Structures are given as structure tokens and as C-alpha cells.
Amino acid sequence: MEESSGIGAEIRVLSAGAVEPGIEKVIGQFRRETGRRLNVAFATAPTILKRVGGGETVDVVIAPAAALDDLVKAGKIPLAERVTVGRIGVGVAVRDDAPAPKIATVDEFKQSLLDAESVVYNQASTGTYVESLFDRLGIAAQLKAKATRYPDFAAVLSHLCRGKGAEIGLGATTVIIEGKDKGLKFVGPLPSAIQNYTTYAATVAAEDAARDAAGEFVRYLASPAARTALAAAGIE
């Protein structure tokens, strides 16, 4: 969580963790340029749906566009100003001292998973896709005994960095790249034939006095400065 001092009402932001590397940079820029105060929490998409669906009050929600649609349909957030943050693909990670598995083609990726001693991924949007991909590739049964699915990528990172042997992690490319200073190696994105992109968007959720400030932040996400920071973090 990050807080900053400044003018006006505090903007409460609940954001998907996959975009955290870019959003943190944008928050810093927005704070310096506007003096606004922000209180930001990061979570997986399922957790965001549970928290907002359960009545938690926030001013801005940043999540997969489909999740925002679900919240609007359920009447949990208003149909309001929305800005596309960008899209993020799925990548492959290993410990920084481990050899990189071959993943250039679908067949190589599939064989590397079968050869791995364990496969780890999360319960966010990325993990949901990965689980369905194993079914499509016809290897779900073979991976079941050695696959571990954690609540978030932080736990995946911890598992990989503490582990031994041939272990493969799967997650959003942004958080894998961010983990390079924590003991991770970014092997690369999934082969294009099986790549999946999740598009993230930000929307105003406030219906009170914070609405104007929330709208200011959401619009800032579309500014050239914000786009540059998001692109630098791997958000397309």
C-alpha cells in the first residue's frame, strides 16, 4: 500500500496486481504533478470481485475489463468513465541460476512442462488461462501431481526462489520482469500461437465527493506520461 500527502480528498484505488509495476510509477508521477493523496491496494481479479462485490468502498478500480463489466452488471460500481490501461501477456519464469527451458514453439513449451519437476502459477486471470491451456495441450492429467497454484504471484515468486531442481513458473510478464532483482529469470513470453493477453482498464467507482478526484486520476492514466511509464513496465 502506498499513501501520499497532498490536497483534497484521498483517492482510494483497488488494482489488479499484474499492472502494479506500471501503476506504481504512474502513481508517483500523478502525486508529484497534482499533489493528490492516494491509498492504493493490489489484489488478484477474483479478490477484487469479492471485495467490491462484498460492499467495500473504493474510488477507482483497475482490473481486467471483463471483471469491471461483471461489477457493473451486478450494480456494485456505476457505469462510469473508463480508460484502458493496456494488455499483458503470459510469460515463463525460472530461478535466476536455473537453465532456461525451451519455449520457442508450442511443442517445446509443452515438452518443457512435462520435463519440469514442478509447475507453479497463480489464481489470478493468468492462472485461469494457464489451467485451461494445459487442458487444450492435453497435458493437464500429467501436470496435476506436480502443479501448485498459489493465491497470487508473490507466492509463486517465493516458491521459485526457494526451490531446487527444474521448476517452471507462469505468470503475467510484468510481474516476472519485476522479479528479476528478487531471484527470477524471465525466460520469455508464451509462443504466439498460445499466447493470451488480458486487457486491464480503470474505472471511476466513486459516487460521492471523491468522484471528481477519481476521474482526474483515471483520465491521467491515458496521458502521454502515464503511457510511457506503463509501456516501460511491459504493459502494451
Looking at the fold, whether 212 and 152 belong to one and the same domain comes out as no
- Count the residues in the chain: 236
User: Do 59 and 94 share a domain, yes or no?
Assistant: no
Look up the CATH number of the domain holding residue 71.
3.40.190.10
Residue 5 pLDDT exceeds 60: no
Average pLDDT over residues 197-215: 91
Alpha-carbon span 25 to 2, nearest angstrom: 11
Asked whether the predicted pLDDT for residue 1 surpasses 50, the reply is: no
97 and 161, same domain (yes or no): yes
Same-domain check for residues 69 and 28:
yes
CB 169 within 8 A of CB 160: yes
Radius of gyration, alpha carbons of the chain:
19
What is the DSSP track for 9-73?
Answer: EEEEEEEEGGGHHHHHHHHHHHHHHH-EEEEEEEE-HHHHHHHHHTT---SEEEEEHHHHHHHHH
Are 76 and 146 within one domain? no
CA distance 100 to 97: 9
In this structure, the answer to whether residues 9 and 59 fall within a common structural domain is: yes
CA distance 48 to 86: 18
For range 109-119, the mean pLDDT: 97
Instruction: State the Cα–Cα distance between residues 168 and 66, nearest whole angstrom.
Output: 28
Instruction: Kindly write down the DSSP assignment for every residue of 95-151, as one continuous string.
Output: ETTSPPPP-SSHHHHHHHHHH-SEEEEESSHHHHHHHHHHHHHT-HHHHHTTEEEES
| Per-residue confidence (pLDDT) for residue 7, from 0 to 100 | 54
Q: Which residue has the cell 499466447?
A: 195
52 contacts 76 by C-beta, under 8 angstroms = yes
Query: In whole angstroms, what is the distance from residue 117 CA to residue 126 CA?
Result: 21
pLDDT in tens, 191-203: 999 999 999 999 9
The total number of structural domains that make up the chain:
2
Residue 34: pLDDT above 60? yes
Find the mean pLDDT for residues 88-93.
95
Do 167 and 135 reside in the same domain of the chain? yes
Q: Which three cell numbers stand for residue 168?
A: 517452471
Same domain for 62 and 97? no
- Residue-range definition of the domain harbouring residue 39: 2-86+200-232
Q: How confident is the model at residue 165 (pLDDT cuts 50, 70, 90)?
A: confident
Same domain (yes/no): 95, 29: no
